[in-house]
Amino acid sequence: MMRLRRFDFQRLERSKARLGEVVLDPGQWIPLMEDICSAAATSGAGLLQSDVRTSDVPVTPSTKEAFQGYFAANLHVEDVRAVRGVPLLLSGRKVLRDQDIFSSERDMLKTPLYRHLGQLGFQWWSAISFWAGPAMWALALQRKRGEGAFEDDDLKAFALLSDALTEAATLSHAVGRQVLLGALSAFDSINEPALSMTGMGRVLEINAAAAEIFDADFRVHNNRLYMRDGKATRALDARLTNSDRELRLRAGSRIGNIIVARRETKRPIVIKLLPVPGAARSPFLGARFILMLTDMEVVRKSEIELLSAIFALTAAEAKVARLIAAGWSPEMIADDLALSRETVRNQIKAVFSKTATHRQNELAALIGHMRNL
């Protein structure tokens, strides 16, 4: 079948020159992959690790549905392309295509993976291998049926990208880790316990202040956060699952990105989820969240101070929050605090936004919850 578009080798070379951009701004991976796909007459692409394949990786919009189905159907567990292709890449090959791992097109199309792809119009595949520290990754390129199989000249051009991808990925991992460690050290400097976590729930780093509050009910074990409180564990899993890796809080959630982990003989630990800084979001590091921990056993704050600390409210906003939760109207609050009604309305908007609540009864439930800590 004739290819519908021509491979643009010069444009591919220009794309390679953009790899430096993704080191400081991991959000540029998707635009970069789209540029590579356009140059390579290819419909879409995604990044995949050779041994541990997770769904929180950059993929182009054109292949998003294909990747979602790939993980939903557990096709990543025994990916035929990884099973047959990774040994070839580890032996020194930099680029692979379908013809390298299948004896025939018929053999290829009868596998579950290719049946899944075929339902979405995709057929032909090529992978450019590269390294990020000790882990081997691949830029997986996917063509639709009419775009034709990858040819020898295509693979020669892709091979020139391999070393550049390794350099960018290794640097991205190193820079991301330094930014992440810097963020946790900043929390340490003000004695705020904190740890970093991937979108799949694996703990990456903890600061010294966090290590000091761990006990039998709340600790890190085998790179996972263990909490005796099953409700808190389920709440954290829900945040990770439903956040779309960007802390998009669930509609109607009464406690937003706050989780209370109760302990058997001590007061609870309050967990606040924060996004990691930009450069730390390297796909090769996997960091997606910083969990700021407040040990209520050692913290003795007034309600105003506690609301301010946990939800980043100003003192004035915290006062307004308490009154709104108590059933006061904006007019009553304005009169009591000697403020204009416009000022109070703006403060109420800020309170709802920062606490991820939408109505008075939700805010009241939240503050009532905090009073029980």
For residue 324, the domain's CATH number is 1.10.10.10
Question: For residue 1, is it within any domain?
Answer: no
Q: How far is CA 235 from CA 74, 218, 315, 362, in A?
A: 24, 15, 28, 17
For residue 219, the domain's CATH number is 3.30.450.20
Are 207 and 339 in the same domain? no
- Which H or E run contains 125? strand 122-132
Are 332 and 286 in the same domain? no
Q: What is the pLDDT of residue 327?
A: 83
Q: Give the end of a domain, one of 271, 299, 327.
A: 299
Domain that holds residue 372: 301-373
Q: Give the end of a domain, one of 269, 299, 329.
A: 299
Are 220 and 82 in the same domain? no
Are 17 and 145 in the same domain? yes
Are 39 and 133 in the same domain? yes
Q: Give the end of a domain, one of 124, 149, 175.
A: 175
Residue 245 CA to residue 252 CA, distance in Å, equals 18
**pTM of the predicted model over 0.85:** no
Are 263 and 142 in the same domain? no
Characterize 329-357 residue by residue with b for buried, 16 or more Cβ atoms within 10 angstroms of its Cβ, and e for exposed: ebeebbeeeebeeeebeebbebbbebbbb
Residue 187 CA to residue 203 CA, distance in Å, equals 17
Query: Amino acid letter at 123?
Result: Q
| Number of domains, the chain | 3
Are 62 and 158 in the same domain? yes
Are 213 and 269 in the same domain? yes
Are 315 and 292 in the same domain? no
Task: Identify any residues that bridge with 130 across adjacent strands, giving them in sequence order.
Answer: 137
For residue 47, the domain's CATH number is 3.30.450.80
pLDDT tens for the chain, 373 residues: list them.
Answer: 444 557 888 999 999 999 999 998 999 999 999 999 999 999 999 999 998 888 889 999 999 999 999 999 999 998 999 999 999 999 999 999 999 999 999 999 999 999 999 999 999 999 999 999 889 999 999 999 999 999 999 999 999 999 999 999 999 999 999 999 999 999 999 889 999 999 889 999 999 999 999 999 999 999 999 999 999 999 899 888 765 444 443 333 334 578 889 999 998 998 988 888 888 999 999 999 999 998 988 866 677 777 787 777 888 998 898 888 888 888 989 988 889 999 999 999 999 888 878 888 888 877 776 655 5
Q: What is the pLDDT of residue 255?
A: 41
Question: For residue 238, is it within any domain?
Answer: yes
Question: For residue 278, is it within any domain?
Answer: yes
